[in-house]
């Protein structure tokens, strides 16, 4: 009975021409490839292949109503399936390649799997700047649908070992290889901006800030609680470790882990302690966030207490991820 046999672990490959060729072959065959971006590691499949996109949902255990981001080399490739207006073109010129995802109208007869859009008439698209992601896109010659490379709802991966730990059996044998491109430099997912209406709407904060977007577009609205799931990362409970997360901690229990920011002022408690940034650097904190949540997620602790993070700049994105990690499950 072959169904009881263990699935093969994905190959861990050092990026280079041979690895990119292997990745392109796997994508062409409808298999999945994990690769680094500047934000987090992605779980990629051919965005035009129904089988491949379905494999992404199956490997992650992802709800079918949660759309995927399609990764491209740039605006020219994206315009084959997404309708750009002047606003989108200005943003692509300024922020692509980079950590900005645009939600745009999906063109009729777009050469994408309908599963990518989760039944919506929109598509989320971005051009990553990470050289490994771009080399894989170039080698494959196709748009790549890629959510974060973790089981749905878990903490996002920022290093290749995180991906291997999330999918020890290759996501049921679907994930064939991991391009091990080191630690992701930003560490939180891309900013997601909805341009399908008259007013731009920020669906998910990231390292491209609302202030930077408003400098180009004018007022940008924030997604309300009734916005529905129009893009990845909008589920109320998301990015969650197994332990409960307690925010804005002013003390720490003896049986809790502590995720500190800035000077650690607690002389007592904290069974395990890590500091996102002892100097209070929000960029350093973002890069460390998911890796440290993983490292503190140990059964010896009752919960993870998190010190307050300033609600400014990149702190807006960090707090968004922490609030979702702490949300009821």
160 and 282 together in one domain: no
- Binding-site residues, in ranges, read 39, 62, 66, 71, 122, 126, 146, 148, 156, 190, 204, 239
The verdict on residue 232 lying in a domain is: no
Q: What is the pLDDT of residues 152-182, one digit of tens each?
A: 889 999 999 999 999 999 988 899 999 999 9
- Binding-site residues for ATP, in ranges, read 62, 66, 148, 156, 204, 239
The verdict on residue 234 lying in a domain is: no
Q: Say what the pLDDT of residue 247 is.
A: 97
Per the structure, the count of domains in the chain is 2
Give this prediction's pTM. 0.89
| Cα–Cα distance list, 201 to 3, 40, 64, 217, 226 (Å) | 46, 23, 23, 11, 13
Q: Say what the pLDDT of residue 2 is.
A: 41
| CATH value at residue 310 | 3.40.50.11030
Q: Say what the pLDDT of residue 264 is.
A: 84
- 222, 257, 278 - which closes a domain: 222
DSSP string, 48-111: T-HHHHHHHHHHHT--TTS--EEE-SSHHHHTTTB---HHHHHHHHHH-SSSEEEEEEBPTT-S
123 and 166 together in one domain: yes
Please say whether the beta carbons of 222 and 204 come within 8 A. Answer: no
Hey, what are 92's tokens?
């692509």
User: Domain range spanning residue 297?
Assistant: 245-326
95 and 218 together in one domain: yes
Q: Say what the pLDDT of residue 3 is.
A: 46
- Binding-site residues for L-threonine, in ranges, read 39, 71, 122, 126, 146, 190
Nearest to 207, CA basis, from 119, 128, 103, 304: 128
Q: Say what the pLDDT of residue 266 is.
A: 82
182 and 262 together in one domain: no
Strands 122-126 and 100-105: antiparallel
Q: What is the pLDDT of residues 213-230, one digit of tens each?
A: 999 999 999 987 555 556
158 and 291 together in one domain: no
Q: Say what the pLDDT of residue 230 is.
A: 60
| Cα–Cα distance list, 293 to 106, 162, 185 (Å) | 36, 12, 17
Q: 210 pLDDT exceeds 80? A: yes
193 and 264 together in one domain: no
112 and 251 together in one domain: no
């Amino acid at each position: 009975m072959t169904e009881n046999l263990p699935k093969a672990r994905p190959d861990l490959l050092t990026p280079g021409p041979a690895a990119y060729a292997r990745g392109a072959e796997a994508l062409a065959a409808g298999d999945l490839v994990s690769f680094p971006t500047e934000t987090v590691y992605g779980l990629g499949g051919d965005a035009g292949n129904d089988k491949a996109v379905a494999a992404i949902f199956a490997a992650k255990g992802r709800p079918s109503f949660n759309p995927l981001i399609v990764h491209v080399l740039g605006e020219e490739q994206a315009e084959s399936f997404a309708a750009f207006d002047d606003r989108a073109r200005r943003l692509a010129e300024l922020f692509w390649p980079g950590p900005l995802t645009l939600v745009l109208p999906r063109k009729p007869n777009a050469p994408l799997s309908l599963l990518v859009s989760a039944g919506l008439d929109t598509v989320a698209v971005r051009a990553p700047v990470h050289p490994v992601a771009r080399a894989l896109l170039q080698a494959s010659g196709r748009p790549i649908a890629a959510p974060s490379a973790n089981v749905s709802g878990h903490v996002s991966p920022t290093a290749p070992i995180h991906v291997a730990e999330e999918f020890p059996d290759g996501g049921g044998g679907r994930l064939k290889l991991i391009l091990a491109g080191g630690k992701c430099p930003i560490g939180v997912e891309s900013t997601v901006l909805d341009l399908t209406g008259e007013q731009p709407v920020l669906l998910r904060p990231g390292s491209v800030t609302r202030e930077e977007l408003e400098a180009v577009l004018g007022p940008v609205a924030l997604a309300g609680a009734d916005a529905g799931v129009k893009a990845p990362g909008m589920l109320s409970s998301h990015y969650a470790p197994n332990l409960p997360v307690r925010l804005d901690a002013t003390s720490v229990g003896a049986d809790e882990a502590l995720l500190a920011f800035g000077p650690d002022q607690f002389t007592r408690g904290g069974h395990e302690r890590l500091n996102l940034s002892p100097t209070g650097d929000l960029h350093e904190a973002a890069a460390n966030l998911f890796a440290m949540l993983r490292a503190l997620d140990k059964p010896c602790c009752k919960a993870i207490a998190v010190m307050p993070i300033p609600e400014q700049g990149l702190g807006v994105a960090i707090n968004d991820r922490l609030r979702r990690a702490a949300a009821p499950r």
